[in-house]
Structures are given as structure tokens and as C-alpha cells.
Amino acid sequence: MTEADRTAIRRKIQDEMERLRPEIERLREVTRPVAPDDSIGRLSRMDNIVNIGVNKAALGKAAARLAGLEYALTQLDSPDFGTCAECGTSIPLARLLAMPESDLCVRCAE
């Protein structure tokens, strides 16, 4: 992997983290439970529970991705970065750019 590749991947990771952080903030905000004495009515309350569930799932996914990206950033300068942890082949740059948090090649990830 060239220095230019690493720079491109680092930029991609940082962009992705910048995008995820406010998104995670927003999801934390909307998954906060509504106080029981709020008079939003029974149907709205049911709606709200469903929405919170959906948003909690999205929050879990976004938080996991952010953690993966933070980890990828710490590994970027390691000589093993970009090498599949399973089979040891080089992971194509396109995949590293799309999913910098993955340490598996497409074949091993399946």
C-alpha cells in the first residue's frame, strides 16, 4: 500500500467519523424515553415506542461503525493494515475505502 493510499483512506475514515458523530448525537436525543406524565396519548405513545426501537437499532449500528473506524485509524500505519486477517491476501483499495473498518477481504467476509 502506498502513502497516497493511506492518506486517501485516512481522509475517508475522518469524513465518515465527522458524519457519524452528529448522527449519533441526534439518535441519542430521539431514543431518550418520553416521561410517563407527558400527555401524548396512547397511540402516540405506541408510535413513539416503535420509533425509539428503530432509532435504537440505528444508534447501535452507527456507534459500532464509529468504534470500528476509530480502531481502523489506530491501525492505519501498521504494516498489517490492508491485509486480510483471515487469509493474508491484500484487501483491494476500493474495499478499504468503502469499509475501512473491515480487516477481512470480500471472500473471507462472506
Contact 82, 2 (CB under 8 A): no
Rounded to whole angstroms, the Cα distance separating 33 from 23 reads 18
Site string for Zn ion, 68-97 (x = CB under 5 A): ----------------x-xx----------
Q: How far is the CB of 78 from Zn ion (least distance, A)?
A: 17
Q: Which lies closer to Zn ion via its Cβ, residue 60 or residue 92?
A: 92
Number of residues forming the site for Zn ion (CB under 5 A): 5
Q: Interface residues with Zn ion (CB under 5 A)?
A: 84, 86-87, 105, 108
